[in-house]
Structure 1
Amino acid sequence: MMRFGQMIKVKPEGLEAYKKYHANPLPGVNEMIKECNLQNYSIYSRGDYLFTYFEYVGDDYEKDMAKMAADPTTQEWWDLVKPLMQPLEDRLEGEFWSDMEEIYHLD
């Protein structure tokens, strides 16, 4: 299993819409997340920042993420929520959500 922590900024005017969308995701979004071997997926907010944590339990992360990105429902979902977010200024090239380094873990 691989654990991920990621951060991004939410636009101040976008937080309430972001919360609303996630309170009632489009049908098929949660199912695709699970189908792509992600579990324990959580999103937290603090001020202008969003933090997500998830675990990947598959055997080909890149393939599963490509499958998710090719899914029409996921693309529709991203069209709704991506405009509400703003990538971090110090993100790596190609990142939307910025990966974080795991410093400590205790089961």
Structure 2
Amino acid sequence: MRRQVFGQIGKLKPDKIQEYIELHANTWPGVLETIHKCNLRNYSIFIQGDSVFSYYEYIGDDYDKDMALMEEDSITQEWWKHTRPCFIKYAITPDSEFYHDMQQIFYYE
């Protein structure tokens, strides 16, 4: 098991900012269970205006497999029906639709 860290950025639609905040203030237990089952830890989301930054650590052995499990989870799919419409499509690269993965350049423990 190797610890990997991820940072992501995204932009919210101005009229969806409060809805996004409220959704995360009341995150569904099934979504949290899936996050845990898929080996994500220390998941944090930060907001400033319409900008969103998220951070999480992955502690599993196969990130792609775990992310595929998350995508297949019916509760998570339903959750995304509520959260994804809050985002402006933020395509910095062709593979980023709602948020963009950032490159870690410094870590100090």
TM-score band by shorter chain is: over 0.9
Aligned residues, how many? 106
Q: Quote the residue 2:41 is aligned against.
A: 39
The match for 1:77 among 64, 72, 79 is: 79
- Displacement after TM superposition at 1:101 (Å): 1.0
Q: Distance in 2 between matches of 1:60 and 1:48?
A: 32
Q: Does 1:4 align with 2:2?
A: no
- Displacement after TM superposition at 1:88 (Å): 2.1
The match for 1:60 among 62, 76, 81 is: 62
* 8 Å Cα contact 2:90-2:96 kept in structure 1: no
- Displacement after TM superposition at 1:94 (Å): 2.4
Q: Quote the residue 1:105 is aligned against.
A: 107
TM-score by length of 2: 0.93
Q: Distance in 2 between matches of 1:52 and 1:87?
A: 16
Alignment partner of 1:28: what SS?
A: helix
- Displacement after TM superposition at 1:93 (Å): 1.5
Q: Does 1:93 align with 2:94?
A: yes
Q: CA RMSD in A?
A: 0.9
Runs of 4+ in 1 over 4 A off after TM superposition: none
The match for 1:50 among 49, 52, 69 is: 52
> Identity, % of aligned pairs?
44
TM-score by length of 1: 0.95
AA matched with 1:28 = G
More displaced, 20-29 or 55-64? 20-29
Alignment partner of 2:23: what SS?
A: helix
Structure 1, unmatched stretches of 5+, are none
- Displacement after TM superposition at 1:22 (Å): 0.5
AA matched with 1:98 = H
Alignment partner of 1:40: what SS?
A: strand
AA matched with 1:60 = D
